[in-house]
Amino acid sequence: MTIELSHEQRWGVMSMVLASFFLGWAPILGKLAYRSGVTPFTLAAIRTIIAAALLWGAFLIFWRRDISISWRGLLGCISVGAVNGFGSLLYYTSLARLDASLAALLNALYPLWVVLFLFASGQALTRITLVRLTLAMLGVFLLTSAGAADLDWLGVTLMVAQAATYGWYLVLGQWVLADVPARTGALYILTAMACVVGLAWVVKGEAVETIAMSGWTAIMALGLTTALSRLAMFSALRRVGGVEASLGSLLELLVSLLLAFLLLDERLTPVQWIGGALLVVGMLLLTRDPGMHLAEGNEPLEWKREWD
């Protein structure tokens, strides 16, 4: 039986694929920047500022009407952006300590944190949720126990914390931004992120390192892919459902693993591949997990993800 997709659905799926492709570059470009002597806070700050500037340019040219936002919506965006900005600092600090492939796999734990936060707010756990939690814990155990002998546990902890932060960001965004258009919300969330990471960079008070041209190239590319991933997601929002969005997250992970293999010469052990496969199965089960709904009849949280 052949399933015919409408023009809107085809455009949404294509946009989702593009967004996932751009997002998959994040850990790779981050590692390339580190090889050029860039520090995590410098990378997080400049990358986010560049992305926000590019997004503002796009809005001023193409979507000037969408810049308008209520004070209540603006405060919501600031709160969500602050959480995401903090998570961004955790992500790039952790990435400096871990291989890009391991970082990408650990970062894929965020949907489990979403469910745990919803459970803490009173939503019941389903059997599928418990299976996914079990698979995730086993997957993380295999990923970390079969890696290098000098595995950086602080890096692992920071990336797991970043996944938790991102899960809270998704839940918080769903609660406080229900009346803010996704495109407008993303603009102000990214702007708030830029302010948070920029302030953290200044407060840290370290002398700005000398950045080689290769480092600037990686930072600029990371800022560009961040902005492009959001623009692609704008086209996908409300055109695809939770299944497509979940598979988009899986595609992002696969892109990161492939690029880490090709460009960074990273290799996972056979046991780590098994652990990664368990995480992938858990991601696929997300499409059947009612625990990803805030309430009966609502769209899955993945649908409204403002991609990091």
pLDDT tens profile 35-45: 999 999 999 99
Q: Is the pLDDT of residue 303 over 50?
A: no
Q: Measuring CA to CA, which residue among 258, 252, 249, 255 is closest to residue 285? A: 249
What is the tens place of the pLDDT at every residue in 251-288? 788 889 889 999 998 887 888 888 888 877 876 776 66
> What pLDDT score was predicted for residue 147?
56
> What pLDDT score was predicted for residue 2?
44
> What pLDDT score was predicted for residue 299?
43
Summary mean pLDDT of the chain: 80
Residues with Cβ within 8 Å of residue 84, at least 6 apart in sequence: 165, 166, 169, 189, 192, 193, 306, 308
> What pLDDT score was predicted for residue 166?
82
- C-alpha 264/C-alpha 267 separation (Å) is 9
> What pLDDT score was predicted for residue 294?
43
> What pLDDT score was predicted for residue 259?
92
> What pLDDT score was predicted for residue 69?
93
CB 135 within 8 A of CB 281: yes
> What pLDDT score was predicted for residue 290?
59
Q: Where are the alpha helices (DSSP H) in the chain?
A: 7-24, 26-35, 40-62, 71-95, 100-107, 110-120, 127-145, 153-176, 182-204, 213-236, 242-263, 270-285
What is the tens place of the pLDDT at every residue in 57-107? 999 999 899 999 999 999 988 998 999 899 999 999 999 999 998 898 888
> What pLDDT score was predicted for residue 136?
77
Q: Is the pLDDT of residue 159 over 70?
A: yes
A 10 A CB-CB count for 298 gives 13
Q: Is the pLDDT of residue 305 over 70?
A: no
Q: Measuring CA to CA, which residue among 44, 42, 104 is closest to residue 259? A: 104
Residues with Cβ within 8 Å of residue 141, at least 6 apart in sequence: 275
- C-alpha 219/C-alpha 45 separation (Å) is 10
Q: What does the pLDDT average to over 114-142?
A: 76
Q: What is the DSSP string of 27-64?
A: HHHHHHHHHTT--HHHHHHHHHHHHHHHHHHHHHHH-G
> What pLDDT score was predicted for residue 139?
80
What is the tens place of the pLDDT at every residue in 194-247? 999 999 999 987 777 788 899 999 999 999 999 888 777 665 655 554 445 555
Q: What is the pTM of this model?
A: 0.82
> What pLDDT score was predicted for residue 39?
93
> What pLDDT score was predicted for residue 237?
52
Query: Which has the higher per-residue pLDDT, 22 or 182?
Result: 22
- Going by the DSSP 8-state scheme, the letter that residue 211 receives in this structure is -
